[in-house]
């Protein structure tokens, strides 16, 4: 891991180098993705099947790409009782949190008697992409499906790649517990194209959500506008502000937990205590050999990990706001006093007991969060991502007089005579 001192003369240069990232895929990725999307759009199921068999290295038939209800039910039966209980507990917690996000239709009457308002309606059909490569993520099923259900989405289509034809019981079990409508064993750009444009097998959706690799991300970017998407997600990241009250083993494990996602994940510790930083480093050294994904963790920490020494909390928060991290842990003795000054973070974990891993699985708030500094302007996935807003305007003969006069004046100012006369007809009726 890199060591940076915020008081050093070259800190800003080193810091910018650390956080510099781009969501732009390289030219080869873009060309590959564009070709796949175009091909699936033109040839439909034939292209979808070819790409699925090629990239997932198996020989499926078209009729086997949809995972049937009995197979999903069988997967649920095969998992352990403790796993099933944990899924159900997590589902309850996540649903309870997201129920509080529901928006309702509202109206009001202005001083002239016009009725104005906003109507809230759910998206009809969504597609949920669930990764199935380096690791299987049943938690992504819960986090993406539940807020859509709370919003009232009519139909939920899930896609998940199955390398070598191997289907993950935990992913299927999670889908059965939350009640996904249809599941297809497809992934990559070809799955995104099928969801965006539809094929004879895969229904066209209105919005696509869920994480994926660089090809999936590039594909979501390309189909945006034909369908909605949740976000352009980059590698996962955590920043931890810690003081001498924190347990260095806990902090070290939280950094390791983030790093085990993949080689591009970012784990950053910020502390004003040089001795504490050293103790965390020692803990990482001790824990690393026993980690199942030690090679991935080591690469992640080497590429994107850092320990930053600051003078005080003020300096630490300035750095946090510059990073706008996906996850922020406040492992300090009095974390609440820092909250007001933190402007940019996807999720804030308050106090040493609030591990980021709890948010990943079952605390309640969504784990689909803005990455790559986008917390400056975006929010966690929520019920609001699956609801549409429609404006309501109701005028009558008496209430329209003033508003029509204003509209007429503004329209003539813009040189739009038909707009003006349209308003004047109502005023003069």
40 neighbors 188 (Cβ within 8 angstroms): no
Q: Which residues are catalytic?
A: 326-327
CA proximity to 330, closest of 242, 237, 236, 259: 242
Q: Which two tokens stand for residue 174?
A: 């999670």
């Amino acid at each position: 891991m890199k060591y940076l001192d915020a008081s050093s003369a070259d800190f800003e240069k080193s810091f910018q180098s650390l956080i510099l990232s781009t969501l732009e895929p390289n030219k080869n990725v873009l060309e590959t993705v564009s070709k796949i999307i175009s091909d699936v759009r033109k040839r439909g199921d034939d292209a979808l099947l070819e790409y699925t068999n090629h990239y997932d290295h198996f020989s499926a038939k078209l009729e086997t790409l949809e995972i049937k209800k009995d197979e999903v039910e069988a997967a649920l039966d095969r998992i352990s009782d403790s796993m099933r209980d944990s899924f159900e507990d997590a589902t309850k917690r996540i649903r309870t949190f997201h129920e509080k996000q529901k928006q309702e239709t509202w109206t009001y009457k202005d001083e002239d008697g016009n009725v104005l308002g906003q109507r809230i309606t759910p998206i009809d059909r969504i597609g949920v992409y669930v990764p199935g490569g380096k690791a299987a993520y049943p938690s992504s099923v819960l986090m993406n499906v539940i807020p859509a259900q709370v919003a009232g989405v009519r139909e939920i289509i899930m896609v998940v790649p199955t390398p070598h034809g191997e289907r993950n019981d935990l992913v299927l079990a999670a889908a059965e517990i939350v009640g996904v409508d249809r599941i297809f064993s497809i992934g990559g750009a070809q799955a995104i194209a099928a969801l965006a444009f539809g094929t004879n097998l895969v229904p066209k959706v209105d919005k696509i959500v869920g994480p994926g690799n660089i090809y999936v991300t590039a594909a979501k970017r390309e189909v945006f506008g034909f369908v909605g998407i949740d976000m352009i997600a980059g590698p996962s990241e955590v920043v931890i502000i810690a003081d001498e009250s924190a347990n260095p083993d806990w902090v070290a494990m939280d950094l390791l937990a983030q790093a085990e996602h993949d080689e591009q994940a970012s784990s950053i510790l910020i502390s004003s205590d040089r001795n504490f930083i050293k103790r965390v480093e020692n803990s990482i050294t001790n824990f690393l050999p026993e980690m199942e994904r030690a090679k991935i963790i080591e690469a992640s920490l080497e590429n994107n990990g850092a320990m930053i020494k600051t003078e005080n909390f003020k300096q630490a928060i300035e750095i946090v706001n510059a990073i706008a991290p996906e996850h922020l842990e406040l492992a300090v003795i009095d974390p609440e006093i820092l909250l007001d000054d933190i402007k940019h973070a996807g999720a804030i974990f308050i106090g040493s007991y609030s591990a980021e891993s709890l948010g990943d699985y079952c605390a309640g708030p969504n784990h689909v969060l803005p990455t790559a500094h986008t917390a400056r302007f975006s929010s966690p996935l929520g019920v609001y991502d699956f609801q549409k807003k429609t404006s309501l305007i109701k005028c009558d003969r008496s209430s329209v007089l003033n508003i029509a006069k204003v509209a007429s004046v503004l329209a003539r100012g813009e040189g739009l005579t038909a707009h003006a006369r349209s308003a004047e007809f109502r005023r003069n009726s």
